[in-house]
Amino acid sequence: MSKAKILVFAGSAREASLNKKLASAGAAAVRRAGGDAALIDLNDYPAPIYHGDDEAEHGLPENILILKRMIAEHDGLMIATPEYNGFVPPLLVNTFSWVSRKSDKGGPEDVLKSKHVAIMAASPGRLGGVRVIPRLRDCLCELGCVPVQGFVTVPAAGSAFSADGDLADDTAQKGLDSLAARLVAAAG
């Protein structure tokens, strides 16, 4: 039996993003759980803000076609999301708005249907991004994804990571490892 392939990314464009750190820690947790993790940066796949007229005139951007192929080639997704005043970040909204569209250029369709997904959030605040989790979960369910049980939030994330990139708090790290194990099991 082959390893579950998990695509891991953060919904932040910031270079020093706390959620990029969390995504990296999540990828390591997926590997410890026996999965094959591919960590990507959405900044490497820029796309214009979704607009139906733009799509009608030009079709899907090449970077979106690349992302769709990557999603299709993986068994599950692990997403680290920032929270902007309780909202899902624009980068994720735009990415999923494009990725969910059908392509006139061929390639995989319905890449999110039945895709297992784990959701995490990191924030410098006390809530750790907990308000965005149900909102993102609802959006992903509408697109056909199947969220695994539970989630991880990392409050005070500016000081939450050890020098090796894992979570400094043992309880938080165990929670991340548990989430990764559930995702690998569900997607495998």
Q: What is the pLDDT of residues 39-88, one digit of tens each?
A: 999 999 999 999 999 999 999 999 999 999 999 999 999 999 999 999 99
The token pair at 160 is 């939450």
pLDDT the model gives residue 1: 65
- Domain coordinates in residue numbering, the chain: 5-187
Q: What is the pLDDT of residues 96-142, one digit of tens each?
A: 999 999 887 767 789 999 999 999 999 999 999 999 999 999 999 99
State how far the alpha carbon of 77 is from the alpha carbons of 5, 26, 164, 171, in Å: 9, 11, 23, 23
**CATH number for the segment(s) 5-187:** 3.40.50.360
Report how far residue 28's alpha carbon sits from residue 38's, in angstroms, rounded to the nearest whole number. 10
Residue scoring higher pLDDT (143 or 103): 143
pLDDT the model gives residue 54: 94
